[in-house]
C-alpha cells in the first residue's frame, strides 16, 4: 500500500516537472515578434506592436493626433491601457492602480436617523411640542432648535472665513516679500547646489589615480573586450529582419544642407541597404517614413545574461570601481 502511494506521488511529481520543463522550452524557443511603422511630415504618426503567442501577449503603442495611446493584452484580456476601455479581471486585479480594492459607497439608508442639535430623532418627529407663538409672531418650541443650529452654522462659517483670511494673509505676506530678497534666496540655494557639485568633482579628482590604475590594468582590457562582444551579440539578437525607410530633409541654408549630407554620407555603409536619404536645397523640411519588423528569441538573451553574470573579469572590475567610488 505504501509503495503504491509513493509511486503515485512520484508519478505526479515527474508529471509536474515535465510540464514545467515543457513550458520553459516553449517560452525560450517561441520568438517574440515585433513590428513598427512611423512617418513624419505635416503630422507625426507612429505605431509599434509586440506579440508573444505562448502568453497571448499583445502590446500596442500608437502616437497620433499628438496623443500617445497604449494597449496591453495578456492571456487575451486587456490589462493596461489609457484609451478608457474596460480592463479584464486580470488587469483590474494585478495591473491597475484602481483595482477595485476600494470599498463601494453604500446607498443611504432610507431609515437613517437625522441629527438635530445633538438630539437623534426619527423621520416621524415625535416628542416635540407644538410650536408656541409669541406676540411678535415668532415660534417658540421649534425655534430654539433651529436657532441653535443656525448659530453653529454661523460659527462654523465664521471659522472658515477666519481660515481663509489667514491663508490670504499668508499669501499676501509672501507676495509682499521684496523681489531682491527672493532673488537672494534663490541665488543662495543655487550656490549651495553648485558647491556640492564641485565637492563631488573634487572627490572624483582625488580618486582619479586609482580609477586610472584600474582602467590601464590587463583585467580591465579583457573585461572591456568581453563587454563589447556582448553588446554586439545583443544588437544582433535585437536587430530587425526587415527595415526600410525614406527620409527627405532640408535646412534653411542650402550650404548647411550640403554639409549635413556630407556628414551623413560618411555613415552610408550603415544605412545604405535600409534608408534612402534625399536632400531638399530649396526649403527647410523633414519628411519621411520608417518601417520594419523582427523577432527575438529568449534563449540567446538568457544565455547572454548568464555569461555577463558569471564573467569573472566584469565582476572584479565592477566591484573594484564601486569600492573606489564609495571609499
The answer to whether residue 268 is domain-embedded is yes
Q: pLDDT per position in the chain (327 positions), as tens?
A: 788 888 889 899 999 999 999 988 888 888 999 999 988 877 888 999 999 988 889 999 998 878 889 999 988 888 888 888 888 888 888 877 654 434 444 555 544 444 444 444 444 444 444 444 444 444 444 444 444 444 444 454 555 555 555 555 444 444 456 666 777 788 888 888 887 777 776 666 667 778 788 888 888 899 999 999 999 999 888 888 888 888 888 888 888 888 888 888 887 777 777 888 888 888 888 888 889 999 999 999 999 999 999 988 889 888 888 887 776
Q: Which residue has the cell 497620433?
A: 64
The answer to whether residue 119 is domain-embedded is no
Q: Which residues contact 57 (CB under 8 A, 6 or more apart)?
A: 50, 51, 72, 73, 74
Angstrom distance (rounded) from CA 205 to CA 64: 48
Q: Provide the number of structural domains found in the chain.
A: 4
Evaluated on CA atoms 73, 75, 79, 80, the torsion sign reads negative
Tally of CA atoms within 13 A in the half-sphere of 185 that contains its CB: 6
Same domain, 190 and 246: no
pLDDT confidence of residue 160:
53
Q: If DSSP codes are grouped into helix, strand and coil, which group holds residue 112?
A: coil
Q: If DSSP codes are grouped into helix, strand and coil, which group holds residue 293?
A: strand
Same domain, 221 and 191: no
Same domain, 299 and 269: yes
Give a three-class secondary structure readout of 23-68: HHHHHHHCCEEEEEEEEECCCEEEEEEEEEHHHCEEEEEEEECCEE
pLDDT confidence of residue 102:
40
pLDDT confidence of residue 17:
93
Residue 289 · residue 283 · CB < 8 Å? no
The answer to whether residue 248 is domain-embedded is yes
Residue 251 — left, alpha, or beta (φ > 0 → left; ψ -120 to 50 → alpha)?
A: beta
The answer to whether residue 11 is domain-embedded is no
Quote the domain boundaries for residue 220: 208-326
Q: Which residues contact 33 (CB under 8 A, 6 or more apart)?
A: 50, 51, 52, 293, 294, 295
Take residue 70 and report the three cell numbers written for it: 497604449
Same domain, 321 and 240: yes
The answer to whether residue 18 is domain-embedded is no
pLDDT confidence of residue 111:
46
Task: Name all contacts of 40-44 with Cβ < 8 Å and 24+ positions apart.
Answer: 40/286, 40/287, 40/288, 40/289, 41/287, 41/288
DSSP at 94: I
Same domain, 227 and 304: yes
pLDDT, tens digit (0-9, with 9 covering 90-100), for 123-162: 444 444 444 444 444 444 444 444 444 444 445 455 555 5
pLDDT confidence of residue 101:
39
Cα 124 to chain center, whole Å?
56
Same domain, 226 and 146: no
Same domain, 216 and 317: yes
pLDDT confidence of residue 21:
92
Same domain, 184 and 229: no
The answer to whether residue 242 is domain-embedded is yes
pLDDT confidence of residue 107:
52
Same domain, 288 and 193: no
pLDDT confidence of residue 130:
47
**Number of Cβ within a 10 Å radius of residue 76:** 11
Same domain, 187 and 274: no
> CA–CA distance from 249 to each of 40, 46, 63, 244, 286 (Å)?
11, 19, 22, 17, 4
Supply φ then ψ for residue 75, to 5 degrees: 55, 35
Residue 51 — left, alpha, or beta (φ > 0 → left; ψ -120 to 50 → alpha)?
A: beta
Same domain, 217 and 194: no
Amino acid at each position: 500500500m505504501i509503495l503504491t502511494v509513493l509511486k503515485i506521488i512520484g508519478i505526479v511529481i515527474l508529471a509536474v516537472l515535465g510540464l514545467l520543463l515543457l513550458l520553459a522550452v516553449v517560452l525560450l524557443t517561441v520568438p517574440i515578434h515585433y513590428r513598427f511603422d512611423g512617418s513624419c511630415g505635416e503630422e507625426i504618426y507612429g505605431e509599434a506592436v509586440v506579440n508573444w503567442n505562448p502568453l497571448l501577449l499583445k502590446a500596442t503603442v500608437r502616437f497620433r493626433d499628438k496623443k500617445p495611446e497604449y494597449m496591453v493584452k495578456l492571456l487575451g484580456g486587456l490589462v493596461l491601457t489609457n484609451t478608457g476601455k474596460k480592463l479584464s479581471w486580470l488587469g483590474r486585479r494585478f495591473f491597475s492602480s484602481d483595482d477595485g480594492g476600494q470599498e463601494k459607497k453604500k446607498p443611504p439608508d432610507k431609515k437613517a436617523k437625522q441629527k438635530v442639535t445633538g438630539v437623534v430623532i426619527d423621520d416621524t418627529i415625535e416628542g416635540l411640542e407644538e410650536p408656541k407663538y409669541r406676540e411678535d409672531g415668532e415660534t417658540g418650541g421649534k425655534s430654539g432648535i433651529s436657532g441653535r443650529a443656525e448659530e453653529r452654522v454661523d460659527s462654523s462659517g465664521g471659522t472658515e472665513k477666519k481660515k481663509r483670511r489667514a491663508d490670504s494673509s499668508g499669501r499676501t505676506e509672501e507676495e509682499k516679500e521684496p523681489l531682491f530678497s527672493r532673488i537672494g534666496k534663490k541665488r543662495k540655494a543655487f550656490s549651495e547646489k553648485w558647491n556640492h557639485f564641485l565637492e563631488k568633482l573634487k572627490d572624483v579628482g582625488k580618486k582619479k589615480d586609482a580609477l586610472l590604475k584600474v582602467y590601464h590594468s590587463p583585467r580591465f582590457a579583457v573585461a572591456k573586450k568581453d563587454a563589447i562582444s556582448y553588446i554586439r551579440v545583443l544588437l544582433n539578437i535585437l536587430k530587425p529582419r526587415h527595415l526600410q525607410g525614406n527620409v527627405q530633409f532640408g535646412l534653411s541654408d542650402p550650404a548647411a544642407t550640403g554639409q549635413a549630407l556630407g556628414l551623413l554620407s560618411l555613415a552610408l555603409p550603415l544605412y545604405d541597404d535600409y534608408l534612402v536619404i534625399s536632400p531638399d536645397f530649396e526649403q527647410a523640411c523633414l519628411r519621411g517614413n520608417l518601417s520594419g519588423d523582427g523577432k527575438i528569441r529568449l534563449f540567446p538573451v538568457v544565455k547572454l545574461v548568464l555569461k555577463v553574470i558569471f564573467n569573472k573579469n566584469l565582476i572584479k572590475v565592477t566591484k573594484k570601481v564601486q569600492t573606489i567610488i564609495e571609499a
